[in-house]
Amino acid sequence: MKTVKVIVEHAGNNLSAYIEDAPVFTVGNTIREIESNMEDAVSLYLEDNPTPCPALQGEFCLKYEIDAATFINYYSNIFTKAALSRITGINERQLWHYAAGVHKPRQQQLEKIQNGIRALSHELMAIDIR
């Protein structure tokens, strides 16, 4: 089964998402809403197109990707820049620059953000609250 990349971006007061190489896009206020809306948009596209574009032919699963600025801004009500700095090891000021679009993070910085979030996720998944 192939993976089809869905790009999620900040779009003013909400989020937008699209599939590269396919005429499918959607908007939503949350990541969950984007996922649901994208599944609906893909289903409608496939219903209306007996010979879909190559990206959506055969069996596939959708994988959602978000850029650093959108991630930092979207989750700012959960992660302060200080908290994100602690879990990623990236200077808080640098995170502000990424969030504002002043600088685009290098691959090494993207990996630090990804690894920090995954480590936190792993830690939280191991906890049972009684």
Q: Is the pTM of this model over 0.85?
A: no
For 118-122, which contacts have Cβ atoms below 8 Å and span 24 or more sequence positions? 119/87, 120/87
Separation CA 34–CA 41 (nearest Å):
10
pLDDT bin (cut points 50, 70, 90) of residue 117 is very high
Q: What is the pLDDT of residues 28-49, one digit of tens each?
A: 999 999 999 999 999 999 999 9
**How much is the pLDDT for 12?**
81
As a whole number of Å, the end-to-end CA separation of the chain is 39
Is the pLDDT at 77 greater than 90, yes or no?
no
Residue 21 · residue 52 · CB < 8 Å = no
